[in-house]
Structure 1
Amino acid sequence: MSIYFTRTFQRSFGTYPLRGEACRQAIETALATGYRAFDTAQMYENEAEVGESLANGSVKRDELCITTKVGIHNFSDERFLPSVEQSLRDLRVDFVDVLLLHWAPADGNIAPSLGLLQKARELGLARHIGVSNYTAGMMRQARSIVDAPLVTNQVEFHPFLNQDILLAAANETGIPLSSYCSVARGKVFEQPLFAEIGQAYGKTAGQIVLRWILQKGVPLNTMSTKPENIRSNFDIMDFTLSSIDMARIDAQTQKNLRIVGRDLIPWAPEWD
């Protein structure tokens, strides 16, 4: 079973775009709330703050799941492993629990970076490895390249984007999805449906959206700097959406609203 599918780690605290004191305070609140999984990346430029906050927190290292991601600017033979070693120094750990490739290379040749990722695992720099922002075709190819299990493909996942093709690829390849942009950068709050459904469960619109993602079989990454939202995002395990409400939310995916496209990330792949 993927580490992401254990109950403790289904809800991960994301740290983009947090920096400095805002990052430290948010992580302190997240730890106190019960979060034990934390997600960062080299491209976020906040690994040092994340590492400091977790090292100074009251939770033991072996109770945490720390994920970071290698940026495409470090995918060369000369830079990959040294960059991971620098991430470990910044995070104040001997290894990360999960090491991901942040994106696929712009030329679509995923084999070299996957080989380097596996090498990092073999050297003990990471307990588990995975990818992010991979298409279904890349997932199939990756499964044939890497010997070690790939524990996740972290992708944009929210009710305004149809990811059925990636969900099918996850079932086919055994590479589970996990989410980012889980509330579509706040756009879900512009849709009255989620608040309406929430009234029946005594939950907020955001909690309804996050519960929908979990019931699609996709672990979460969420971020907030507001203590009440950090706690609310975590408090989603005590109810279950009905099949009718799941279907009502499923219908929203036909909007096909992508938040992170080529306008933001020029090297993004041709999405499924």
Structure 2
Amino acid sequence: MTAFTLPSPGLGTSGNDEFERCAETVATALDAGYRHVDTAQMYDNEAAVGAGIERADVPREEVVVATKIHPDNLSYEATRRTARESLDRLGLDRVDLLYVHWPISAYDPAETLPAFQELVDEGVTDHVAVSNFDRELFETAADRLDAPIVANQVECHPLLPQDDLRALARDHGHHLVAYSPLAGGEILDDPLLSEIATEHDTTTAAVCLAWAASKDSVVPIPKGEGDHVRANYEARSLELSDDALARIDGYDERLRVVDPAPAPWNE
């Protein structure tokens, strides 16, 4: 169990790799109230995210900054080296949250996880997290680390509710960080979710984010720009009716927009 609290919602930045656009989005989000920004080596935007944090009129200590080690960089030496390179690009002396991005490619629990533990011990990151881990992979990693794993980031939305991983997060005491909480926009014309949005005089996007926020341990990290960034943040105040939540939870439509990558030792 960890006392670490991850602000919700967070700002996702995947795909936002044009420097000025990304920096302005991050600054806009922080000024609108976000206190959690998510990036990754893979996104090729850490420098822009750092610039946005610098531009915002928000003290650094109020912002949870998360980045992820690229799957190709998950050997012991590359993890240690590239984590510091990420700090340089971000313009920070530490990150709050450092993720294993995918348990593929160079990932090896016996090499990768000791490197993450050392990065915690040396103050490069405050906390360890993982992304795209199933229950077995998560439990293996948790057994190998002294530091608690405070988050598992996976695709999660009303049409991919991740019941087992949400239960694991609740029981273990970590956050399930929901990427693609709007299913890349593909979920926004869903008939049931659109019907519930009409009943609540809101948008389908807001319904998806409110559904995520209603679940124990779930922290959505929607992407967006401009007014969408603000609208996504404001959705945190939407409370869906018990009937609406029950209808969503009983819905049998399923959709996955990001293919899970196989762990090499399970192929």
TM-score (norm 1): 0.90
Distance 1:192 1:255 in 2: 11
Q: Give the aligned partner of residue 203 of structure 1.
A: 202
Change over 3 Å in CA distance of 1:107–1:76 after alignment to 2: closer
AA at the equivalent of 2:160: L
Partners in 2 of 1:155 and 1:268 — Cα distance?
18
Partners of 1:70 and 1:99 within 8 A in 2: yes
Q: CA deviation at 1:248?
A: 1.1
The corresponding residue for 1:95 is 94
Query: 1:140-219 maps to which residues of 2 (within 5 A)?
Result: 140-217=139-216, 218-219=218-219
SS at match of 1:79: helix
How far did 1:22 drift? 1.6
Deviations 1:30-64, CA, capped at 9 Å, x for gaps: 12211121000000010011111211221111111
Give structure 2 stretches of 5+ with no counterpart.
Answer: none
1:79 aligns with 2:78: yes
Secondary structure at the counterpart of residue 59 of structure 1: coil
Tell me, yes or no, if the aligned pair for 2:75 and 2:108 is still in contact at 8 Å. Answer: no
8 Å contact from structure 1 (residues 104, 269) kept in 2 = no
Residue aligning to 2:255: 257
- Between stretches 164-173 and 210-219, larger displacement belongs to 164-173
Q: Deviations over 1:186-219 (max 9, x none)?
A: 0111213223212332321111110101111211
Report what 1:17 is aligned to: 15
Q: What residue in structure 2 maps to residue 3 of structure 1? A: 5
Match of 1:57 in 2: 56
Secondary structure of 1:99's aligned partner:
strand
The 5-angstrom pairing of residues 205-244 of structure 1 reads 205-217=204-216, 218-225=218-225, 227-244=226-243
Superposed displacement of residue 269, structure 1: 9.1
Superposition RMSD on alpha carbons, in Å? 2.0
Structure 1: 5+ residue stretches without partners = none
Q: Are the equivalent residues in 2 in contact too, given 1:40–1:68 (CA < 8 A)? A: yes
Aligned partner of 1:61: which letter? R
2:124 is aligned to 125
Structure 1 residues 241-250 or 210-219, which shifts more?
241-250
**Aligned equivalents of 2:197 and 2:203: distance in 1?**
5
Structure-1 separation of matches of 2:265 and 2:21: 32
* Equivalences, count: 262
Q: State how far apart, in whole Å, the 1-side matches of 2:106 and 2:11 are.
A: 31
Residues 135 and 269 in structure 1, CA contact (< 8 A), matched pair in contact too: no
> 1:159-206: per-residue Cα shift (whole Å, max 9, x none)?
111411112222333332110011000011121322321233232111
Instruction: State the secondary structure of the residue aligned to 2:76.
Output: coil
Percentage of matched positions with identical amino acids: 34
Instruction: Describe the shift of the 1:109–1:120 C-alpha distance in structure 2 as closer, same or farther (beyond 3 A).
Output: same
Distance change (3 Å), C-alpha of 1:268 and 1:185: farther
Q: C-alpha offsets along residues 124-179 of structure 1, whole Å, 9 cap, x if unaligned?
A: 00111111100011122222111111110000001111411112222333332110
User: What pairs up with 1:30-45 in 2 under 5 angstroms?
Assistant: 30-45=29-44
Matches of 1:67 and 1:251, distance apart in 2: 33
SS in structure 2 of the partner of residue 235 of structure 1: helix
Distance in 1, matches of 2:4 and 2:220, equals 14
Given that 1:95 and 1:127 are in contact with CA atoms closer than 8 Å, whether structure 2 keeps it comes out as yes
- The equivalent residue for 2:244 is 245
Contact 2:69 2:83 in 1 (8 A): yes
**What is the letter of the counterpart of residue 9 of structure 2?**
R
1:76 Cα deviation (Å)?
1.4
